Chain A
Amino acid sequence: MHQALSAAISIGFFGLAYAMVLYLISVGLSVTLGLMGVVNLAHGAFAMFGGYAVTELMARAGLPFWAALIAGVVLVAAGGAVLERVLYRRLYGGDELDQVLLTIGLVFMSLAAARFGFGTLDQVFHPPPALAGTITIAGRSFPTYRSFLILSGAALVALLWLGLDRTRFGAMLRAAVDNPRMAEAVGIDTGRLFAVSFALGSGLAALGGGLGAEILPISPAYPVQYLVDFLTVVAVGGAGSIRGPFLAALLLGISQTAFLYFWPASGSFFIDALTLGLLMWRPRGLVPAA
Chain B
Amino acid sequence: MRRFAILLAAAGAALGLTFAAPAWAKTIRIGIITTYSGPLAPPGISMDRGLTLYAKLHAKDLPKGVKVRIIRRDDTGIAPATAKRLAQELVTRDHVQFLAGSVYSPDALAIAPLATEAKVPFVVMNAAAADLVRKSPYVVRDSFTLWQVAMPMGEWAAKHGMGDAYTAVSDYAPGWDAEGGFIAGIKAAGGKIVGSVRFPLNNPDFAPVLQRIKDLHPHTLFIFVPGGPQSTQMMKTFNALGLAKAGIHLVTTQDLVIDSELPKMGNIPLGVVSSGTYQEASKRPANRAFVAAFQKAYPGSIPDFPAMQGWDGMAMIFRVIRQTGGTFAPAQAMAILSHYSTTNSPRGPFHIDPATRDVVENVYIRRVEKLKNGQLANVRFDTFPMVSDPWAKMHPQK
A-B pairs with beta carbons under 8 A, tally: 84
Contact present for A134 and B241 (CB under 8 Å): yes
Q: How far is the CB of B177 from chain A (nearest CB, A)?
A: 16
Interface size on A, residues (CB 8 A): 35
Contact present for A143 and B240 (CB under 8 Å): yes
Q: How far is the CB of A288 from chain B (nearest CB, A)?
A: 30
Contact present for B212 and A141 (CB under 8 Å): no
Contact present for B215 and A260 (CB under 8 Å): no
- Known interface pairs A134-B245, A141-B242; A121-B41 also in contact (CB < 8 Å): yes
Contact present for A122 and B233 (CB under 8 Å): yes
Whether A65 is near chain B, meaning CB under 8 Å from some CB there, is no
B171: A residues at CB distance < 8 A:
264-265
Q: How far is the CB of B339 from chain A (nearest CB, A)?
A: 39
Whether B232 is near chain A, meaning CB under 8 Å from some CB there, is yes
Whether B80 is near chain A, meaning CB under 8 Å from some CB there, is no
- Most chain-A CB neighbours within 10 Å: which of B38, B200, B203, B240? B240
- Chain A stretch 8-45: residues in CB contact (< 8 A) with chain B: 10-11, 14, 18
Q: Out of A6, A141, A221, A264, name the residue touching B38 (CB < 8 Å).
A: A221
Residue-wise, chain A 176-202 has the 8 Å CB interface mask toward B (1 for contact) of 000000000000000000000000000
Q: Out of B41, B208, B215, B236, name the residue touching A257 (CB < 8 Å).
A: B208
Q: How far is the CB of A280 from chain B (nearest CB, A)?
A: 26
Inter-chain CA distance A10–B233, complex, in Å, is 20
Contact present for A122 and B242 (CB under 8 Å): no
- Known interface pairs A260-B208, A261-B211; A219-B39 also in contact (CB < 8 Å): yes
Per DSSP, are chain B's interface residues mostly helix, strand or loop, or mixed?
mixed
Whether B205 is near chain A, meaning CB under 8 Å from some CB there, is yes
Instruction: Name A132's closest neighbour in chain B (CB-CB).
Output: B240
- Chain B stretch 207-235: residues in CB contact (< 8 A) with chain A: 207-209, 211-212, 215, 229, 232-233
Whether B198 is near chain A, meaning CB under 8 Å from some CB there, is yes
Q: How far is the CB of B242 from chain A (nearest CB, A)?
A: 4
Whether B264 is near chain A, meaning CB under 8 Å from some CB there, is yes
Whether B7 is near chain A, meaning CB under 8 Å from some CB there, is no
Contact present for A260 and B205 (CB under 8 Å): yes
A225: B residues at CB distance < 8 A:
204
Whether A145 is near chain B, meaning CB under 8 Å from some CB there, is yes
Contact present for B200 and A268 (CB under 8 Å): yes
Whether B199 is near chain A, meaning CB under 8 Å from some CB there, is yes
Q: How far is the CB of A113 from chain B (nearest CB, A)?
A: 15
Q: Out of B39, B198, B232, name the residue touching A124 (CB < 8 Å).
A: B232
Whether B42 is near chain A, meaning CB under 8 Å from some CB there, is yes
15 examples of A-B residue contacts, CB within 8 angstroms: A120-B39, A121-B39, A124-B232, A133-B240, A134-B241, A141-B245, A215-B207, A257-B208, A260-B205, A260-B208, A261-B208, A264-B203, A265-B171, A265-B199, A265-B200
Q: A120-B38, A121-B39, A226-B204 are in contact. List 19 more A-B contacts (CB 8 A).
A: A18-B205, A115-B37, A120-B39, A121-B229, A122-B229, A124-B232, A133-B240, A143-B241, A146-B240, A215-B205, A217-B204, A225-B204, A257-B208, A260-B208, A260-B209, A261-B212, A264-B198, A265-B199, A265-B200
What are the 7 closest A-B residue pairs judged by CB atoms, nearest first? A260-B208, A264-B199, A134-B242, A261-B208, A143-B240, A265-B198, A10-B211
